[in-house]
Chain A
Amino acid sequence: MTPYVPGDSPVHRCPPGRKILALVAAGTLLFAWPRLDLALAALAAAALLSRLAGIPVRLMLAQLRPLAWILAVLVLVQLALDGWQAGLLVAARLAALVLLAGLVTLTTRSADLIEALQGGLSWLRPLGVNPAKVGLAIALTLRFIPVLAAIAAEVREAQRARGLERSLVALTVPVVVRMLKMSDDIAAAIDARSYDPDRDSR
């Protein structure tokens, strides 16, 4: 997981919803006007903001590492086709967006992010999407990921005893079936506690 870096900078205190919107705006802007000066400005802004938030340079560079070879290939292709300016533009734009996105994650607790998301989804209500249900689904998803990993480890152990640890089908089928059974139990348990997403809990 990308760690949350605690702090009290203006970047940390900015409401999560506003940070996400700013990120979307920056991305749209950079793709609508593919200009080198804009991309470099965004890169500078990312560097400046991370400095302001007190994020170590090492952590920011770590955001770019998974992208390093994609960036290298992109730059080489662009260099060969359109000259160095186009290559620099693509690289600078991608790096700026990834850094800005990383900055949002590094300066926002995931609980705050989920709450902002649930609030930001209230416009979906007329379309028949209940934000409270989305909130429940998000919370369940985050809880299910470690549970799935634990069940997968158990099943792998059981299949190793049968000499089947290399068969993906023999690993996945029992995991999914067990999770489906568990889901029915969880749904029954939630209903048994009179869960009513239509009633506003606040």
Chain B
Amino acid sequence: MSTRDIVFVALFAALTAALGLFPPVTLPMVGVPITAQSMGPMLAGTIAGSRRGGAALALFVLLVCAGLPLMAGGRGGLGIVMGPGGGFVLMWPVAAFVIGVLVERSLRSLSAWKEALILVLGGVVLTYAVGIPWIAAVARIDLAKAALGSAWFLPGDAAKVVLVVLIARAVRRAYPTLQAR
């Protein structure tokens, strides 16, 4: 990694941490607080790309594990990873990497719909595939209940995907950061 790559990695790790500073938005219908933080892997993947994005989120998770209170609401420490939401957090680096690979591959013909599909695949399907069994294992409830409980986050995730598509496309237009593979 070049020095520029290292600085980019640090930037997106910090961006993910800063997204935790946003006050959690509470959905009027269901009343579940949603943090902006899960937009971190999506933004890192679509703007910084696969290697830098994945490394940025890996660095973020490392810092959280080391006890720095970077998660939304000032939480941190290994307790986060070992808690019910740990599966989601551990999947963030993978999600950022996968999103980055897919975006880089189709950079030349990347419509907004295609980008949204990539984000849903990497940022939602992939993370839930690990996150839901993790909840079930940690809280010792069965898979169906864990999946049903997680379904409350889906409206928020849909909003985040739309936001990230709008943001990432505008940023890449203003300041191209990716190279097509």
Contacts and interface: CB of A to CB of B under 8 A. Distances in A.
Interface of A: 1-2, 20, 23-24, 27, 31, 34, 66-67, 70, 74, 77-78, 81-82, 86, 90, 94, 97-98, 100-102, 104-105, 108, 110, 113-114, 117, 133-134, 136-138, 140-142, 144-145, 147-149, 152, 168-169, 172-173, 176-177, 179-181, 183-184, 186-187, 190-191, 195
A138 B177 CA distance: 22
B78 A97 contact: yes
Point out which of B1, B43, B67, B68 has the most chain A C-beta atoms below 10 A from its C-beta: B67
Interface string B60-86: 101100111110011111111011100
B67 A2 contact: yes
Contacts of A74: 84, 139
The SS class assigned to the B binding surface is: helix
A176 B43 contact: yes
A190 B77 contact: no
A24 B14 contact: no
A172 B47 CA distance: 13
B117 interface: no
Please classify how large the interface on chain B is, using the bins under 10, 10 to 19, 20 to 34, 35 or more: 35 or more
A27 B78 contact: yes
A127 to B, nearest CB: 12
A1 B75 CA distance: 8
Nearest to A130: B1
A173 to B, nearest CB: 5
Given A137-B13, A168-B167, 5 more contacts: A74-B139, A77-B141, A101-B67, A142-B14, A142-B68
Nearest to B36: A168
Nearest to B163: A168
Contacts of B175: 177, 180-181
B125 interface: no
A90 B139 contact: yes
A137 B171 CA distance: 23
